[in-house]
């Protein structure tokens, strides 16, 4: 594949096809004849007239997805997944493209000591940039949109500003965060975590790749030439605000026929390993009344956790179950299972945890909790239970000013259909924005995911939805810059 940078001049893609009609009722201001236009001098109508190009955005997505092509799921050329592991050779190709492309758009590109890439376009005044950020790495069997959309839409914003010679008051830019997926080096969002000061850089640099390889993050950063000499920190590379466009990775927007999720925050989660201990015994010679069946107790606990979470509007899930000895004719005496509790509200996660801790002890002792012993044979033997906390991630609340920039942009874009086409949402998954929100005003924008699928080759978001997301991303960044210019943030 040949990628020419910059793109052929004179290219004119279609703009937001699906929502052209939204604007057709108004006089659409054309910025095409305007040179060196200062954003702060523009009217609301002029701001709405600055449009991203759907066709150009999709070309960036699909051409750069030639680096790290994954499993094929359909017959069309773009119907493949992605397998672009962080700091691999294909990740280097995508990073090289990021540098070359943004430089031609007038940006200065800085790489920090975690390989995070910051492409910054100057404004009329100096100051930290307002950025669009996400990630170019994927899962080993990932898709073409998770992370990739957020970065390429940021680049489409730069292209649009460049084409129209728009002068923002302060710098704006795009960030590519390293190893967001945590698929190759096993900590998710590790490099935004280092930038935020939550993860020590030595710990991140020493992370070994998953599998039999011996490479570390630092050795791979060196190997592909992306170990930058700027410290990875919010002090060495300050940002003014961080906006992240991302696929929803869930089914809600599609099911409700909405176009944009206005993300309010990321839900809290706690992960536990629950250990249940009973006694191994023969399945044929030991009556029900003489068993300490660890799996039977664990099964009741898992059902209880579902009921406890349901009562509070939370989520509780078990994804790992390990039982010993693992023999058809032996009642298992030892069971470990994972428990993942989530809610947008920290106190609800704590309440479900406390409820389960009390109930699990009683269940292990053989008590009838929540009618879980109905039709069961009582036993003279009991089990014990213990908990280990594996992870604790408090709820993230995004910044009201950033959220309002997104909301105002959708109002200008969708007009009277804004309420029908948008939804206030909480992210169920973690993102780099969780870490950036600890240091700078941050929010996220979601677009629909087909069937709610992600981390899979069939992950898909319609081109018009990608473009609508990119339009809202750009509008939000520009609105934030306007507020800064007016001294309101
Ligand atoms: Zn992602």
Q: How far is the CA of 419 from the centre of ligand 1 (A)?
A: 26
Q: How far is the CA of 324 from the centre of ligand 1 (A)?
A: 36
Q: How far is the CA of 346 from the centre of ligand 1 (A)?
A: 23
Burial 396-431 (b: 16+ CB within 10 A, else e): bebbebbbbbbbebbebbbeeebeebbbebbbebbb
Q: In terms of residue numbers, what domain contains 295?
A: 268-393
Q: How far is the CA of 177 from the centre of ligand 1 (A)?
A: 10
What number is the average pLDDT over the span 192-200? Answer: 97
Residue 2 above 50 pLDDT?
A: no
List, in order, residues 6 or more apart from 266 with CB less than 8 Å away. Answer: 395, 396, 426, 427, 429, 430, 431, 433, 434
Q: How far is the CA of 82 from the centre of ligand 1 (A)?
A: 13
| pLDDT band with cut points at 50, 70 and 90 for residue 28 | very low
- Cβ(472)–Cβ(465) under 8 Å? no
Q: Are residues 295 and 416 in the same domain?
A: no
Last residue of a domain, one of 336, 371, 393: 393
User: pLDDT tens across 29-80, in order?
Assistant: 445 444 568 999 999 999 999 999 999 999 999 999 999 999 999 999 999 9
Q: Are residues 176 and 146 in the same domain?
A: yes
- Hey, CA dihedral for 148, 154, 157, 161, is it positive or negative? negative
Q: How far is the CA of 297 from the centre of ligand 1 (A)?
A: 37
List, in order, residues 6 or more apart from 8 with CB less than 8 Å away. Answer: none
Q: How far is the CA of 253 from the centre of ligand 1 (A)?
A: 17
Q: How far is the CA of 197 from the centre of ligand 1 (A)?
A: 20
Q: Any idea what the CATH number is for the domain that residue 115 is in?
A: 3.40.630.10
Residue 237 located in a structural domain: yes
DSSP code of residue 163: H
Phi, psi of 321 (to 5 degrees): -135, 120
Q: Which two tokens stand for residue 3?
A: 């990628």
Percent of the chain as helix, strand, coil, to the nearest 5: 35, 20, 45
Cα R_g (the chain), whole angstroms? 25
| pLDDT band with cut points at 50, 70 and 90 for residue 393 | confident
pLDDT of residue 37: 86
User: pLDDT tens across 229-254, in order?
Assistant: 999 999 999 999 999 999 999 999 99
Q: How far is the CA of 147 from the centre of ligand 1 (A)?
A: 4
Residue 153 located in a structural domain: yes
The reported pTM is 0.84
User: pLDDT tens across 263-295, in order?
Assistant: 999 999 999 999 999 999 999 999 999 999 999
Q: How far is the CA of 180 from the centre of ligand 1 (A)?
A: 7
Q: Are residues 379 and 316 in the same domain?
A: yes
Last residue of a domain, one of 378, 393, 408: 393
Share above pLDDT 90 across residues of the chain, in percent, rounded to a whole number: 91
Q: How far is the CA of 293 from the centre of ligand 1 (A)?
A: 41
Q: Which of 106-110, 362-366, 380-384, 393-397 has the lowest mean pLDDT?
A: 393-397
Question: How far, in Å, CA of 52 to CA of 55, rounded?
Answer: 9
Q: Are residues 122 and 172 in the same domain?
A: yes
Which residues sit with Cβ closer than 5 angstroms to ligand 1, an ion?
A: 146-147
Q: How far is the CA of 186 from the centre of ligand 1 (A)?
A: 15
pLDDT of residue 36: 63
Question: How far, in Å, CA of 233 to CA of 248, rounded?
Answer: 28
pLDDT of residue 221: 98
pLDDT of residue 33: 47
Q: How far is the CA of 417 from the centre of ligand 1 (A)?
A: 28
Q: How far is the CA of 155 from the centre of ligand 1 (A)?
A: 17
Residue 420 above 50 pLDDT?
A: yes
Residue 439 located in a structural domain: yes
Q: Are residues 333 and 257 in the same domain?
A: no
User: pLDDT tens across 334-373, in order?
Assistant: 999 999 999 999 999 999 999 999 999 999 999 999 999 9
Q: How far is the CA of 20 from the centre of ligand 1 (A)?
A: 28
Into how many domains does the chain fold? 2
Q: Are residues 128 and 51 in the same domain?
A: yes
Closest Cα to residue 245, out of 438, 455, 415, 406?
406
Residue 449 above 80 pLDDT?
A: yes
Residue 9 located in a structural domain: no
Evaluate the omega torsion of the peptide bond into residue 6 and state whether it is cis, within 30 degrees of 0.
yes
User: pLDDT tens across 108-127, in order?
Assistant: 999 999 999 999 999 999 99
Q: Which of 32-46, 133-147, 280-294, 444-458 has the lowest mean pLDDT?
A: 32-46
Question: How far, in Å, CA of 419 to CA of 472, rounded?
Answer: 15
Last residue of a domain, one of 393, 419, 443: 393
What number is the average pLDDT over the span 307-318? Answer: 98
pLDDT of residue 23: 35
Q: Are residues 389 and 400 in the same domain?
A: no
Q: How far is the CA of 305 from the centre of ligand 1 (A)?
A: 28
Q: How far is the CA of 332 from the centre of ligand 1 (A)?
A: 39
Q: How far is the CA of 431 from the centre of ligand 1 (A)?
A: 6
Phi, psi of 319 (to 5 degrees): -115, -15
Taking all residues of the chain, what is their mean pLDDT, rounded to a whole number? 93
3-state secondary structure of 301: helix
Q: Are residues 60 and 204 in the same domain?
A: yes
Residue 3 located in a structural domain: no
Q: Are residues 54 and 74 in the same domain?
A: yes
Closest Cα to residue 360, out of 341, 380, 386?
386
DSSP 260-286: EEEEEEE-EEEEEEEEEE---EETTTS
- Pairing of β 422-427 and β 260-266: parallel
DSSP 26-61: S-PPP-TT--SEEGGG--HHHHHT----HHHHHHHH
DSSP 178-228: TTSS-SSSSSTTHHHHHHTTSS-HHHHHTPBPSSS---BHHHHHHHTT---
Q: How far is the CA of 274 from the centre of ligand 1 (A)?
A: 29
| pLDDT band with cut points at 50, 70 and 90 for residue 1 | very low
Q: Any idea what the CATH number is for the domain that residue 317 is in?
A: 3.30.70.360
Q: How far is the CA of 394 from the centre of ligand 1 (A)?
A: 19
pLDDT of residue 391: 84
Place of tokens 């758009």: 105
Given its phi and psi angles, is residue 426 left (phi above 0), alpha (psi -120 to 50 degrees) or beta? Answer: beta
Q: Strand locations in 329-472, DSSP E?
A: 330-331, 334-343, 384-393, 396-397, 422-427, 442-447
């Amino acid at each position: 594949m040949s990628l020419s940078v910059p793109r052929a001049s004179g290219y004119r893609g279609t703009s937001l096809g699906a929502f052209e009609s939204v604007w057709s009722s108004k006089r659409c201001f054309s910025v095409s004849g305007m040179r060196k236009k200062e954003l702060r001098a523009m009217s609301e109508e002029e701001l709405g007239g600055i449009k991203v190009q759907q066709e150009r955005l999709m070309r960036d997505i699909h051409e750069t997805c030639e680096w790290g092509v994954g499993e094929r799921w359909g017959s069309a050329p773009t119907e493949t997944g992605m397998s672009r592991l962080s700091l691999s050779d294909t990740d280097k190709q995508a990073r090289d493209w990021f540098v070359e492309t943004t430089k031609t758009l007038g940006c200065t590109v800085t790489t920090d000591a975690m390989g995070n890439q910051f492409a910054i376009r100057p404004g009329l005044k100096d100051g930290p940039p307002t950025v669009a950020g996400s990630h170019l790495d994927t899962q080993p069997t990932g898709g073409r949109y998770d992370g990739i959309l957020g970065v390429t839409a940021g680049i489409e914003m730069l292209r649009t500003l460049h084409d129209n010679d728009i002068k923002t008051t302060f710098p704006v830019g795009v960030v590519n965060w390293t190893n967001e997926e945590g698929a190759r080096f096993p900590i998710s969002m590790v490099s935004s975590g280092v930038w935020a000061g939550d993860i020590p850089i030595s710990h991140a640099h020493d992370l070994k790749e998953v599998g039999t390889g011996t490479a570390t993050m630092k050795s791979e950063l060196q190997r592909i030439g992306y170990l930058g000499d700027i410290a990875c920190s919010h002090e060495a590379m300050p940002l003014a605000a961080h906006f992240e466009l991302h696929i929803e990775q869930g089914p809600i927007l599609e099911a409700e026929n909405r176009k944009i999720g206005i993300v309010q925050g990321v839900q809290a989660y706690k992960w536990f390993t629950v250990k249940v201990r009973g006694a191994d015994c023969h399945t044929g010679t030991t009556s029900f009344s003489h068993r300490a069946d660890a799996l039977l107790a664990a099964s009741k606990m898992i059902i209880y956790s579902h009921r406890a979470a349901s009562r509070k509007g939370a989520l509780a899930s078990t994804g790992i179950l390990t039982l010993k000895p693992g023999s058809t004719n032996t009642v298992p005496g030892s069971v470990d299972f994972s428990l993942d509790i989530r809610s947008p509200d920290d106190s609800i996660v704590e309440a479900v945890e406390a409820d389960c801790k009390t109930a699990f002890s009683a269940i292990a002792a053989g008590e009838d909790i929540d009618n879980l012993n109905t039709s069961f044979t009582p036993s003279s033997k009991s089990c014990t239970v213990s908990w280990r906390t594996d992870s604790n991630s408090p709820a993230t609340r995004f910044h009201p000013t950033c959220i309002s920039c997104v909301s105002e942009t959708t109002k200008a874009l969708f007009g009277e259909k804004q309420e029908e086409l948008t939804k206030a949402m909480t992210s169920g998954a973690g993102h780099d924005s969780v870490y950036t929100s600890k240091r700078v005003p941050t929010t996220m924008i979601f677009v629909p995911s087909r069937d709610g699928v992600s981390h899979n080759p069939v992950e898909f978001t319609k081109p018009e939805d990608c473009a609508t997301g990119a339009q809202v991303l750009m509008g939000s960044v520009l609105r934030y810059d306007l507020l800064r210019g007016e001294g309101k943030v």
